[in-house]
Amino acid sequence: MEVLKRVSLIQTKLSKCFASSYVHTNLKPPKANQTLKRYLNSNCDTKAILFFRELLRHNPSSVDSFSFLFVLKACIKKPFSLEGKQLHAQLIKSGFHSIIHLQAVLINFYSALGNLLDAHHVFDEIPNKNIVSWTTLISAYVVNQKPQKAVELFREMQMLNVEADQVTLTVALSACADLGALEMGEWIHAYVRRKPELEADLSLNNAFINMYAKCGEIQTARKLFDSLGEKDVTTWTSMIVGHALHGQASEALELFSEMEEIKQKNSKNKEEGNCGSSIILPNDVTFIGVLMACSHGGMVEKGKKYFLSMIEDYGLKPREVHFSCMVDLFCRAGLLKEAYDFVTEMPGRANPVMWRTLLGACNINGELELGEKVKLQLLELESGYVGDSVAMSNIYAAKGMWDKKMKVRDQVQQQRRAPGCSLIEVASEISEFVSGDDDHPLKAEIYEALEYLTASMKTYDLSLSIKPA
């Protein structure tokens, strides 16, 4: 109700503004699209929507496809769910639904809502699908953490002989990175090499580095990184994060130091008036990689130093993920009291991941009293998570407190567990396996292979147990 009141108030003020500025004076109103674009660029999304409504009521002839484009983008930024759906209906009514750039924005709108069903429906209704529409839909699945479907769509696009561009390939590589689909990523790399017109730009090279690093090919990623003449902050960050993910703390921090040295050198050149490379500053994602490296390397003091440097030297505001990295840093080092103090004193409310990290450390270190405090915090934030109860029951078991352990175990049995899921890539095909699911199309062949492997292992064990006379 409060939102509706605010919208109504803004609408009233806008109406008065129109009346006083344009009706009772000799001033001519600016072109509708210029006004909509100005609102959009100024992040006045509500004003853009209300202004568009006024146009439809009082001056519908001034509305064209670009008017819909601007106001749909305004709906995406919030996002405005109801208003965007109304615009979709109005767009069809106005006869603009077949314009390709509007169809792409509609897919983006439904993607922003997490409504992939309607996003795909918009795509299916496009009669002449081009690379823009394909890329937009593939991106929608990547953004909504459905990389397997994104890869399937990319493969379907290839089968229909739709030529991919750099943007499509960059999005597809992101899906490969999320899935760990190395074969598909390598195929895309080979595809780019075969297409002279698809010269790998910096964004595409960054995507290759990210894909190789996340798929376990850290040496290939580093080789590609070292071969690039042009690098931006994403290039450096992808490689730093890649080293950190592989537990290569020294390599990650050495790379960050090199990045800072280049920054200082280029800054000095700028001050002296020498033309040189542009200054590349680390961003908040770079520091995620740096803090992860410190955590995996057990470098507590360095982690503290970099956390403060991010704020004081670079003016970056820590996000939840940075606080989570610091909690992980303290917990891995066994500094549970320091981790608890950090969580309770941080600005804002700690999320369940931070508390869960601390509870896991309490389980490993047998910290009963602190573990109970943390479990209470998790009960307030996310009471239905089974893993928290399992961790707490393990702490009780380690202390020989069997009554409390059984009580917690009884609670666990009453809660629903999310089924386990695993993915495997075979010949560039991604197969998903969910615990307890027997709907895979190759179920018979899979069970036959498992039975053969089981029998082979039993035979091997038997041969080891029989000693020669």
Q: What is the mean pLDDT of residues 80-95?
A: 88
Q: Which residue has the higher pLDDT, 23 or 282?
A: 282
Radius of gyration of the chain (CA): 28
Query: Distance (Å, rounded) from C-alpha 331 to C-alpha 334?
Result: 5
Closest to 384 measured CA to CA, from 415, 414, 429: 415
Q: pLDDT tens for residues 410-450?
A: 776 655 555 566 666 665 566 666 666 666 677 777 778 87
Tokens of 175: 């899906």
Q: pLDDT tens for residues 190-248?
A: 999 988 877 778 999 999 999 999 999 999 999 999 999 889 999 999 999 999 999 99
Tokens of 145: 């953490």
Q: Which amino acid is at 458?
A: K
For residue 79, is the peptide bond before it cis, meaning its omega torsion is within 30 degrees of 0? yes
CA–CA–CA angle 420, 426, 429 (5° rounding): 85
Q: pLDDT tens for residues 21-60?
A: 333 333 344 588 888 888 888 888 888 888 888 888 888 8
Q: Sign of dihedral through CA atoms 455, 457, 459, 462? A: negative
* DSSP for 400-413, written as a single string: T-HHHHHHHHHHHH
Query: Distance (Å, rounded) from C-alpha 220 to C-alpha 184?
Result: 15
Query: Distance (Å, rounded) from C-alpha 404 to C-alpha 393?
Result: 7
Q: pLDDT tens for residues 344-401?
A: 999 988 999 999 999 999 999 999 999 999 999 998 888 778 888 888 889 999 888 8
Query: What is the pLDDT, as a whole number, of residue 466?
Result: 57
Cα distances (angstroms) measured from residue 70 to each of 7, 29, 98, 130: 19, 18, 17, 22
Q: Which residue has the higher pLDDT, 220 or 13?
A: 220
> Quick one: pLDDT band at residue 10, thresholds 50, 70, 90?
very low
Query: What is the pLDDT, as a whole number, of residue 343?
Result: 94
Task: Collapse the DSSP code of 423 into the 3-class scheme (helix H, G, I; strand E, B; otherwise coil) and give the result.
Answer: strand
Do residues 54 and 60 touch, judged by C-beta distance below 8 A?
no
Tokens of 248: 């290569």
Least confident among 67-71, 255-259, 354-358: 67-71
Query: What is the pLDDT, as a whole number, of residue 98?
Result: 83
Task: Collapse the DSSP code of 434 into the 3-class scheme (helix H, G, I; strand E, B; otherwise coil) and give the result.
Answer: strand
Q: pLDDT tens for residues 290-322?
A: 999 999 999 999 999 999 999 999 999 999 999
Q: Which residue has the higher pLDDT, 465 or 367?
A: 367
Do residues 184 and 176 touch, judged by C-beta distance below 8 A?
yes
Q: Which amino acid is at 164?
A: A
Query: What is the pLDDT, as a whole number, of residue 387?
Result: 84
Tokens of 77: 């930024």
Cα distances (angstroms) measured from residue 10 to each of 4, 5, 25, 205, 376: 10, 9, 22, 46, 44
Query: What is the pLDDT, as a whole number, of residue 11?
Result: 38
Chain-wide mean pLDDT for the chain? 84
Do residues 184 and 428 touch, judged by C-beta distance below 8 A?
yes
Say which residues have a Cβ less than 8 Å from residue 28's Cβ, sequence separation at least 6: 22
CB neighbours of residue 100 within 10 Å? 14
